Structure 1
Amino acid sequence: MSTKVYRPADMNETFAAIRNSGDVGALLALYEEDAHLLVDANGSGFAGKAAIAGELERLVRMPGTMTSQNTFCVEHGDLALLRADFAIVDEEGLALYSGFTAEIVRRQADGTWLYVVDHAGASRYGS
């Protein structure tokens, strides 16, 4: 599985696949050094990879399998705005956690894309 994203529209699917593999380091590699991860509607969150790492570890420890589907991807030069619907489901397909995200990603010098802002603020438990 590639952990590099060369098309911003592939960011969310790649994130979910890496999360399901349990590789926190590979998830963290999807973020710029000073990225922001927002985790609720109030804008609470984490700034910088060191702070984001703990939240990603928590996400990987959650039971279930994650899926994430883009609803749109708007590119403008080296920036892209994404929105995705995601769910973490149990073995029977019941949603344990679901919601949607809004993200800003930036093209890097090597042509890959990384998160600048990742906001999963409208999530909910249960179905």
Structure 2
Amino acid sequence: MHRVEDRERAAHPEDLNRLVLKRLNTADVDGLVALYEPGAVLALPGGRVAVGHHEIRAAYAQLVAGRPEFLPGTVNPAVRNGELAITSVRIGGGDFTVEVARRQADGTWLWVIDQPSLLS
């Protein structure tokens, strides 16, 4: 397994959706967590929310434990406003994911808020 520092980073907000799919399908929990700011929030089933890297790591560890296959959706163009962007993916059946990303000091992008239909 690669160190988190060696993993590909999101140069554009839309890259986050591609990277999350790749890391979900390889059960790369640390790589998934690396796509989020330290205080990010991730919506979970039942109206629960994972806050911060520790809780997000636990949620993803549970999600990928059975090694399910995640299929790609249709990535929509990001809507940007300065250092913020809304990203979204249309998933089969008409469901969507919606995320808020923020540009980091090094120019890469991380999610701050994630409402993934795939976790519902």
TM tier, smaller: 0.7 to 0.9
Aligned ranges 1:67-106 → 2 under 5 Å: 67-86=72-91, 99-106=95-102
Bigger fraction of residues in strand: 1
SS at match of 2:14: helix
Equivalent AA in structure 1 for residue 58 of structure 2: G
Structure 2 counterpart of 1:90 = none
Relative to the length of structure 2, the TM-score reads: 0.81
Alpha-carbon separation, structure 1, partners of 2:18 and 2:51: 23
Q: Is the 8 A contact 2:88 2:99 kept in 1?
A: yes
1:66 to 1:57, Cα distance in 2 relative to 1, 3 A: farther
SS at match of 1:74: strand
Relative to the length of structure 1, the TM-score reads: 0.77
Alpha-carbon separation, structure 2, partners of 1:30 and 1:17: 12
Residue segments in structure 1 that go unaligned for 5+ positions in a row: 88-94
Moved over 2 A (4+): 121-124
Alpha-carbon separation, structure 2, partners of 1:121 and 1:30: 17
Bigger fraction of residues in helix: 2
Q: Does 1:20 align with 2:25?
A: yes
1:21 to 1:121, Cα distance in 2 relative to 1, 3 A: closer
Residue segments in structure 2 that go unaligned for 5+ positions in a row: 1-5
Say what the alpha-carbon RMSD is for the aligned residues. Answer: 2.5
Structure 2 counterpart of 1:57 = 61
Identity of aligned residues (%): 32
How many residues are aligned here?
A: 114
**Bigger CA drift: 73-82 or 54-63?**
54-63
